[in-house]
């Protein structure tokens, strides 16, 4: 069986971000799953300019070298988990900008989500699903929502993810779905390339 490659995309590049903690936690939960290899994809490593290409990526690949490197990196994966904050009821601008530089790299691949903040980033995840559908991504139903109580406990009260077992249950369900969809869509892409 072919190993699936899944990218865990950190959606913010802020120096004081929280995203590293849930990403690390998810990576530890995912390691025992032998059918997939998980890798952190950090937007800090991709200094993308604000989108300023002459044509949209649907018509022409980006010409900017940083955008080309980002597109090559994200194309290597068979599926994704987006770890997102919620900024003003939406996704972080750096994530939207990164996605605006892509198109075909994400086609017919699935995406799961971990959100954190006041309402577990439910609104940001909904917005992200809409953006990803336009890029021909299959967004998954099951997600991990780290709500305000858990977020504050983890950030300020010395709590760990082990203090919130319901999050691990949600993550397991999301990973089960993600692996199924990743395997299925990869087989479909191989059988009928776009």
Domain limits of the chain? 4-191
**Inter-CA distances, 54 with 38, 60, 105, Å:** 34, 9, 19
- Residue 172 pLDDT exceeds 90: yes
Q: What is the pLDDT of residue 2?
A: 79
Q: What is the pLDDT of residue 11?
A: 93
Q: Which helix (H) or strand (E) holds 173?
A: helix 165-191
Question: If pLDDT is split at 50, 70 and 90, which confidence band does 92 have?
Answer: very high
Helices within 55-146 (DSSP H only): 65-75, 93-100, 122-134
Tens digit of each residue's pLDDT (9 = 90 or more) over 147-164: 999 999 999 999 999 999
Q: What value does the mean pLDDT of the chain take?
A: 95
Q: The tokens of 43 are what?
A: 């937007």
Asked if the 4-191 domain carries CATH number 3.30.590.10, the reply is no
- Residue 1 pLDDT exceeds 70: no
Integer Cα distance of 79 and 162 in angstroms? 26
- Residue 101 pLDDT exceeds 80: yes
Question: If pLDDT is split at 50, 70 and 90, which confidence band does 118 have?
Answer: confident
Segment 86-92 mean pLDDT: 92
E-assigned strands of the chain? 4-10, 36-42, 79-85, 110-116, 138-139, 144-146
Segment 131-137 mean pLDDT: 97
């Amino acid at each position: 069986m072919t190993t699936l490659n899944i990218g865990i995309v950190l959606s913010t590049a802020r120096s004081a971000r929280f995203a590293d903690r849930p990403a690390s936690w998810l990576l530890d939960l995912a390691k025992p799953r032998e059918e997939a290899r998980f890798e952190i994809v950090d937007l800090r490593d991709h200094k993308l300019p604000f989108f300023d290409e002459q044509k949209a990526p649907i018509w022409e690949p980006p010409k900017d070298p940083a955008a080309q490197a980002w597109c090559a990196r994200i194309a290597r994966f068979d599926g994704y988990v987006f770890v997102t904050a919620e900024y003003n009821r939406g996704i972080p601008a750096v994530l939207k900008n990164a996605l605006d530089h892509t198109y075909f790299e994400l086609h017919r691949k699935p995406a799961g989500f971990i959100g954190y903040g006041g309402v577990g980033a439910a609104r940001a995840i909904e917005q992200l699903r809409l953006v990803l559908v336009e890029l021909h991504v299959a967004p998954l139903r099951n997600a991990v929502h780290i709500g305000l109580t858990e977020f504050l406990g983890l950030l300020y009260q010395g709590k760990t993810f082990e203090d919130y077992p319901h999050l691990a249950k949600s993550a397991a369900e999301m990973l089960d779905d993600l692996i199924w969809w990743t395997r299925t869509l990869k087989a479909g892409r191989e059988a009928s390339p776009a």
